[in-house]
Amino acid sequence: MQAQVFRVQMASPDDISGVVELIDSGRCRAEDVVCIMGKTEGNGCVNDFARGFSNFVLADYFGRCLGISREETGERIALIMSGGTEGVMSPHFTVFAKAPEGEGNGEKRLAMASGHTRDFLPEEMGRMAQVRETAAVVRRLMGEAGIEGVEDLHFVQVKTPLISTDQAEAAARRGKTVCSDNTYKSMGYSRAASALGVALVTGEISEGQLSDEVIGRDWSLSSGVASTSSGIELLCNEIMVLGNSASWGGDLVIGHSVMRDAIDGDAVKAALENAGISFEWRPTSEQRERVVNILAKCEASPDGRIRGRRHTMLDDSDINSTRHARAAVNAVISSIVGDSMVYVSGGAEHQGPPGGGTVAAIVRVE
């Protein structure tokens, strides 16, 4: 078994021509695709329908390729769309596949697995039920991928649901409360609970530290490998685990680090070095060619400061702070790797320190 990872550009949310060409050319087989992570050009907020649009078109295409329904496609392939390509970020898909050929030779190589939790009731989102379900699926997927220890787990991507107005009202009619009846705030709670589920698996926190009351509030609790993103297009958590395993072949590895703030280029460098690319100031052109993609989380620092300097991302009534943060972090990463087509997702509750975020690098071995 070996991992394959491809990046393809998008001209619009419904443009999957790059994915189609990838399959038609034979470089990747449709039956080998495990997950597609997309950066779509919507606003990344509740009413970002670009995510669902891309998801629909991909599910329709792969359903026809595989001879199954769109619903079955969504169960077989994790279609994780993250909205918002502000600044210089280039809209794109990252296609993850596992090809049956390629035996492990004792060297640890990129390993992956994807799956879903059950659907959540609105009163469960952003609460301990979501934490525990996320943890259970992450543990299962690590076993499926052959990732033997948490030290080899480098990135866990989770697509989470949010609580719509209709869902909140339905819960109230059943006598249930929800974590927030504000749809946008519910996105943050859902991301937060899912990130803490990952942290529970990695041992970064213990279950005794957790309760409904600390989710989205106690920022001392976090995961250094979680990346969670919310959307209205699903009711369950879609989860993709990425790590290294000696049972996998191929020429790809993954490493990670944690950005302490939105301008922490040193953490990007550390992630690349953790994956096997070492350099002084900037990677050489040959080293940049080995970078397959950078995956990162970000948020506007909640205290309104970056290294003591005031920022205004939280005070802009026209543009949401997550959109500012994505643009800033993408620019930092792009300046290092020389490529703006990298995956940067906003809203980093419990994903690294406040104002920071996880960052991972997938690279080809030298």
Task: Render pLDDT for 37-79 as a digit per residue (tens, 0 to 9).
Answer: 999 998 888 888 888 899 999 999 999 999 999 889 988 999 9
Angle, in degrees to the nearest 10, between helices 321-337 and 265-274? 60
DSSP assignment of 216-242 equals TT-TT--BSSEEEEEETT-SS-EEEEE
In the numeric block, the tokens 């080998």 are attached to: 32
Averaged pLDDT, 334-356: 96
CB hemisphere CA count around 366 (13 angstroms): 10
Can you list the pairs that 202-207 forms with residues at least 24 positions away whose Cβ atoms lie under 8 Å? 202/150, 202/153, 203/150
> In this structure, are residues 90 and 326 in contact, taking their beta carbons and an 8 Å threshold?
no
Task: Render pLDDT for 254-270 as a digit per residue (tens, 0 to 9).
Answer: 999 999 999 999 999 99
Alpha-helical segments (H) within 7-112:
17-24, 49-66, 70-76
Cβ burial, residue 203 (10 Å; 0-12/13-18/19+): exposed
Confidence of residue 366 (pLDDT cuts 50, 70, 90): confident
Catalytic residue among 227, 229, 230, 245: 229
Question: What mean pLDDT value characterizes the chain?
Answer: 94
Query: Which amino acid is it at 303?
Result: D
Q: Is 321 a catalytic residue?
A: no
Q: 233: which 2 tokens?
A: 């297009």
Averaged pLDDT, 87-98: 96
Q: Is 229 a catalytic residue?
A: yes
Sequence-separated (6 or more) residues with CB below 8 Å from residue 53? 13, 14, 40
Sequence-separated (6 or more) residues with CB below 8 Å from residue 28? 4, 6, 22, 95, 97, 99
Instruction: List the one residue out of 18, 180, 194 whose CA is nearest residue 92.
Output: 18
Q: Is the dihedral of CA 45, 47, 48, 53 positive or negative?
A: positive
CA gap 128, 134 in Å, rounded? 10
Sequence-separated (6 or more) residues with CB below 8 Å from residue 166? none
The CB density around residue 281, as the number of other CB atoms within 10 Å, is 6
Higher per-residue confidence, 317 vs 341: 341
Please tell me what DSSP assigns to residue 248: B
Cross-strand bridge partners of residue 35: 78, 96
Alpha-helical segments (H) within 150-249:
165-173, 183-202
To the question of pTM greater than 0.75 for the whole model, the response is yes
In the numeric block, the tokens 């300046």 are attached to: 335
Can you list the pairs that 279-283 forms with residues at least 24 positions away whose Cβ atoms lie under 8 Å? 282/336, 282/338, 283/336, 283/337, 283/338
Residue 104 pLDDT exceeds 70: no
Q: Which helix (H) or strand (E) holds 323?
A: helix 321-337
Task: Render pLDDT for 184-225 as a digit per residue (tens, 0 to 9).
Answer: 899 999 999 999 999 999 999 999 999 999 999 999 999 999
Catalytic residue among 39, 98, 159, 269: 159
Residue 106 pLDDT exceeds 90: no
Percent of residues, the chain, with pLDDT higher than 90: 89
Averaged pLDDT, 239-252: 95
Confidence of residue 84 (pLDDT cuts 50, 70, 90): very high
Sequence-separated (6 or more) residues with CB below 8 Å from residue 95? 4, 5, 6, 7, 8, 19, 22, 28, 33, 35, 36
- Domains in the chain (CATH in brackets) are 2-99 (3.30.1330.170), 109-242 (3.30.1330.180), 255-364 (3.30.1330.160)
CA gap 97, 3 in Å, rounded? 6
Q: 353: which 2 tokens?
A: 């320190």
End-to-end CA distance of the chain: 20
> In this structure, are residues 147 and 156 in contact, taking their beta carbons and an 8 Å threshold?
no
Task: Render pLDDT for 277-318 as a digit per residue (tens, 0 to 9).
Answer: 999 989 999 999 999 999 999 999 999 999 999 999 999 988
> In this structure, are residues 239 and 250 in contact, taking their beta carbons and an 8 Å threshold?
no
DSSP assignment of 85-127 equals --TTPPPEEEEEEEES--B--SS-EEEEEEEE-PPPPTTTTTS
Confidence of residue 100 (pLDDT cuts 50, 70, 90): confident
